[in-house]
Structure 1
Amino acid sequence: IGLVRFCFLYAYCSVNINVFFLCVCPGLASGLEITSTGPTSIETASGKSVKLDCQFTLAPEDSGPLDIEWSLLSSDNQNEDKVVILYSGDRAYEDYYPPMKGRVHFNSADPKNGDASINVTGLKSSDSGTYQCKVKKAPGIRSRKMLLIVMVKPSMPRCYAEGPTQEGKDIVLRCVSSEGTIPLQYSWEKTSDSKLPTHPVAGTVNVRNASASASGTYRCTASNRVGSEQCILNLKVTPPPNTAGIIAGAIIAVLLILLIIAIILFCCIRARRRKRYEKEICNEIREDVPPPKSRVSTARSFTVGSQRSSLGSMSPSNLHEYALKPQYDKIPSSEEFERPPSHAPLPPTTVPRMGGPNLSRMGGIPVMIPAQNKDGSIV
C-alpha cells in the first residue's frame, strides 16, 4: 500500500511540473533551437573584423513571425541594454545603433534560413562587451550570449636613456608605449649581446657604473596578446669631461672676445677723432683771411736792407735828394694793410740833411749813386 501511494504521488507531481513549464516557458515545448557550438568568448585586435556566430533551426510548430535581435548588454543593471541590429517583418535594421553605424551587418542576406550571425568591422576598444543573440518565432524563443574583448595593439614604444651617459655613472634605459591594452610586456636586448634582465611592466633597465663596453645598439619590444612593436636605442658611453680644459678654454675665449671688442672700440674712437679734426680744419679756412705776415716781414726786411745798403752807398750830395724823395716806392707794412681806408696815411718821416764833413766824421764813405727818376727806377 505504501509503494502504491508513493507511485501515485510521484506521477501527480510529474504532471504538475510539466504543466508549469509549459505555461511559463512555452519555448521549451517548441522546436526552435540555437545550434551554434563555437566559443562564447572572442579576443581580437582593434581595427580588425569579427563574426559573432548565431545559428538556429525551426520546427513546424514555430509558426509565428521571425524576429532576430542583437543587443549589447549593460554592465550596470541600472542601465538598459542597447539594441545593435534588428531583423523584423522580413526586413533588416542595420543602422540601429549610432556608435556602430555602418560597421555591423548580418552575415546572411536572408536570416530566415537559420543564420542570425553578424559581422562587425573596424573594431574599436569601445566595442568590447557582452552581446546577446535572441531569436523569436512564436511560440519558440532562444538566445545566446557572447563576450567580445577588443584589445588595442601596443603603439610603437619610445626608447630613451635617463641620466648622464658617462663612464662611472648609473644609466637607466626606459621603454614606454602610449597605447595598448594591458597587460603590456616589455623586453630589452642588445643586438650584439645576450638578453638583458628587465622589469616586465615598467620596461626599464638599470646599467650601474657604466663602462665603455655598455655602448651599443639596444632593442625594446612591447607586446600584449594581440600584437607587438619595437624601438631601437643607440647608447654611447663617453669618458668624463676634462673640467680644467673646459675652464681654460672658456677663459681664453672670453679674453679673445674682450680683445676684439677693445680693438674695435679703439678703431672707432680714432676714426671719430680724425673726422672731427678734419671738420675743424675745414671750418677754419675762410676767404677774408689776410695773407701770412711772414711774407710782409720778408718784404720789409728786404726793403730795410735795400734802404740801408742804399744809404750806405749814398754820397753827401745825394743823401739830401733821397731824403726829399716821396715815399711812394716803399712797400707798405702789415699795419698799413690792416688800417681801415677811412684813416689817412701819416706823412713820411724826413731824414735830416747831413753835410759831407759830418758824414766823414761819422765814418761814412762817399759813394757815387746813380740818378733815379720819380718812379724809383735807375737811370
Structure 2
Amino acid sequence: MELPPPAALLLGSLLLCGAGLTKGLTITSADQTMVEKAQGEKVTLPCKFTLSQEDQGPLDIEWVLIPTDNQKREQTIVMYAVDRIYNNYYDAMNGRVQFTDPDPKSGDGSIDILNLKSTDTGTYQCRVKKAPGIQTQKIQLSVLVKPARTKCYIEGTQETGRDLTLKCVSHEGSPLLYYAWRKSSSTEDLPATSLLNKDTGELLLKNASQEYSGMYSCVATNRVGTDQCSVELNITPPINTAGRIAGAVIGTLLGVFLLAFLVFCCCKKHREKKYEKEVHHDIREDVPPPKSRTSTARSYIGSNHSSLGSMSPSNMEGYVKTPYDQVPSEDFEHPPGQNPNFAPSKVAAPNLSRMGAVPVMIPAQSKDGSIV
C-alpha cells in the first residue's frame, strides 16, 4: 500500500532518528592514510571520535607503531586510560610525543610528534575503546630529509669550442631529488646547446663559446624542501699548445744541462781532492826530507874515515905511505896572467899537527879511478 507523501516523510525521519540512537563509537577524522613531513618539523596525527549513549565502559585511547617486520611486536607510543595519560612507553620518542588535547575524553585523541627524525617513519594506529564500542584508524608517516650541502662544480676545460659539464650534487636529502639549472647572471635562458639531466644534476654544454660565460645556479628539490648552489663559468680562447710544448721542451733541456754541469763539477772536485790526498800521502810516507849539504859531507867523510880506519895493515901495503913530516910542495903552476901574490901559503906538517889537523891516508888510484 502506497502512503501519501506527508506520511512517507514522517516515516523516514523516524527511521533516521532510530539509526542515530543505535549508532555506536565512531572515528570522525578524515581518512588520511599518508602524511609526509620534513625532518625536524612537527606533525599532528589526527584521531577524533564521537561516543553514543550505548558506550558505557571506560574510555581508552592507545597509539601504537606497527613494525614493517611481521616478526616484531607492536610498540605502544602513548596511551590514555582511567583519566590519565601515559607517554613513557617508547624511549625513542620520550619527550617528543603528546596528546594534542590535554583532555582526550572530549573527543580528540590526536597526537603531536615534535622534532621529527627519519627513524620516526612508519605506520601508526589509533585505537579508541569504550565498551562495547571500539574503532581504529591507521596513518602512514614518512619523515623526509630536505636537500642540504648541495655542491656545484665544473668538469672539463673552459675553452672556446670545448664540451664541458656543470655538475650539481646534494649530499643530504631524501629521494626523489630533482635538479634544475639556470643562468643567474642575467635574464638569459640556458644555452641552446645545453642538455640537462634533472635526475643526476648534470648540465652538458657542447661547443662552448664566450657567450656561455656567467654565473649558473642549481636548485635541488624534493617533496619537503629545496637547496641551491652556484658556480661561475669563464670561457676563454684556447691556449697556444705548440708554444706550451716548445717551452716545456726547452725548460727540460735546460734542466738536464744544468744537472749534467753540476755532476761534472762535483766529479772534478772529487778528483782534485783525491789527487791532493794521494800526493800528500806519498810525500809523508815514501819521500824522506832532503838533508843539508853539510850533513851529507860530514856523513861522507865519517863513512870514509870509518872505512879507512877499519883497514888492516895487510890491506895497506898497496897504498903509498907518506910521512907526516913530509908534505908535498904546494907550488902549483899557475896559468899565465894569474897574480902570484894570491898563491896559497905553504904550511909544514908539524904546524898542521899543532893546528889540530888529522892525518888522512889517501890510497893510490889508477887512471880509471879504481883503487890499486
Choose which of 135, 142, 151 in structure 2 pairs with 1:142: 135
Match of 1:289 in 2: 289
For 1:290, give the aligned amino acid: P
Closer/same/farther in 2, CA of residues 39 and 343 from structure 1, 3 Å limit: same
- List per-residue Cα deviations over 1:232-264 (Å, max 9, x = no partner): 112233433333222222222222222322332
**Are the aligned partners of 1:189 and 1:195 in contact in 2 as well (CA < 8 Å)?**
yes
Mapped pair 1:188 → 2:181? yes
Secondary structure of the structure 2 residue equivalent to 1:260: helix
State the percentage of identical aligned residues: 42
Match of 2:107 in 1: 114
Match of 1:367 in 2: 340
Secondary structure of the structure 2 residue equivalent to 1:267: helix
Say which is worse superposed, 167-176 or 30-39, in terms of deviation: 30-39
Note the 1:30-179 alignment, pairs <5 A: 31-37=24-30, 41-73=34-66, 81-179=74-172
- The Cα of 1:208 is off from its aligned counterpart by 0.8
For 1:247, give the aligned amino acid: I
- The Cα of 1:209 is off from its aligned counterpart by 0.7
**Are the aligned partners of 2:25 and 2:52 in contact in 1 as well (CA < 8 Å)?**
yes
The separation in 2 between residues aligned to 1:143 and 1:85, in whole angstroms, is: 15
The separation in 1 between residues aligned to 2:147 and 2:68, in whole angstroms, is: 26
- List per-residue Cα deviations over 1:159-200 (Å, max 9, x = no partner): 222333332111122222233333322111112232326333
Closer/same/farther in 2, CA of residues 370 and 156 from structure 1, 3 Å limit: closer
Match of 1:268 in 2: 266
> What is the TM-score with the length of structure 2 in the denominator?
0.68
- List per-residue Cα deviations over 1:1-42 (Å, max 9, x = no partner): xx69xxxxxxxxxxxxxxxxx9xxxx9935534344585543
For 2:183, give the aligned amino acid: K
Q: Unaligned regions of 5+ residues in structure 2, if any?
A: 3-18, 357-372
Number of equivalenced pairs? 315
**Are the aligned partners of 1:30 and 1:139 in contact in 2 as well (CA < 8 Å)?**
no
**Are the aligned partners of 1:31 and 1:140 in contact in 2 as well (CA < 8 Å)?**
yes
Choose which of 227, 232, 235 in structure 2 pairs with 1:234: 232
Q: Unaligned regions of 5+ residues in structure 1, if any?
A: 5-21, 300-330
- List per-residue Cα deviations over 1:325-344 (Å, max 9, x = no partner): xxxxxx97598279588534
For 2:206, give the aligned amino acid: R
Alignment RMSD (CA, Å): 4.2
Secondary structure of the structure 2 residue equivalent to 1:195: coil
The separation in 1 between residues aligned to 2:303 and 2:255, in whole angstroms, is: 64
For 1:156, give the aligned amino acid: R
For 2:77, give the aligned amino acid: V
Secondary structure of the structure 2 residue equivalent to 1:175: strand
| Structure with the larger helix share | 1
Closer/same/farther in 2, CA of residues 335 and 217 from structure 1, 3 Å limit: same
